Amino acid sequence: MYNEEVEMYLEDFKDNLNKIVDHFAGELQQIRAGRANPKIIEKIMVDYYGTMTPINQMATISVPEARMILVNMWDNSMLKATVKAIEAANLGLNPSDDGRVIRLVFPQLTEERRKELVKEMNKYTETAKVACRNARRDVLDVFKKMKKDSTITEDEMDRLDKDVQKILDDVVANIDKLSSAKEKDIMEI
């Protein structure tokens, strides 16, 4: 349908949008929704002998119960530093350690805290949509330059504009679907 160069730009555009959606989905997983999810603490950085290291690279993280995360440190000398890092992450969790493992018990979320989490999630949603629109703008700028250089015709430009918009609409609908599913998950008691 289009020449190879245009197809290449369209594929790059789709890849960029997929990366944005993947990143957005990762951010959603880090928002706690009342039950234990190891993704919430995986990326917390701990000072590990002078190097900032994520917890998941220095411990085994498990979920023995629906509302508890168990962090089993490989090096017990890092227990106190890990507890401090979890407290500093401000997740609303109180870590307790018995000298061998760290337990994180998830309390029931209050209605107010649920609404705060939904607001935070909505910020992530809007950021993802803005990133998608920026990717659309970038690819359309390339196509406009190609039209100006007479690489593509006016009709092709109009068709590309519609195709790019359709791709963007599908991705934004997917972002909205992920967002509403997470909101339902957060607001569920």
Chain segment 87-129, per-residue pLDDT in tens:
888 777 788 888 888 888 877 777 887 888 888 889 999 999 9
Distance from C-alpha of 182 to C-alpha of 38, rounded to nearest angstrom: 16
Structure-token pair, residue 78: 């890092």
| Bridge pairing between strands 101-105 and 95-97 | antiparallel
Of 68, 83, 105, which residue is a domain's last? 105
Domain with 143, as residue range(s), is 4-30+110-187
Determine phi and psi for 73, rounding to 5 degrees. Answer: -70, 140
Q: pLDDT tens, 2-52?
A: 688 888 999 999 999 999 999 998 888 777 666 677 877 887 888 888 888
CB distance 23 to 171 below 8 Å: no
Of 105, 137, 153, which residue is a domain's last? 105
Indicate if 148 and 180 belong to the same structural domain: yes
Residue with tokens 């504009």: 161
Indicate if 65 and 25 belong to the same structural domain: no
List C-alpha distances in Å: 140 to 57, 96, 146, 172, 175.
41, 53, 10, 17, 21
Distance from C-alpha of 171 to C-alpha of 156, rounded to nearest angstrom: 22
Query: What domain count does the chain have?
Result: 2
pTM exceeding 0.85 = no
Of 58, 83, 105, which residue is a domain's last? 105
Structure-token pair, residue 29: 């997983």
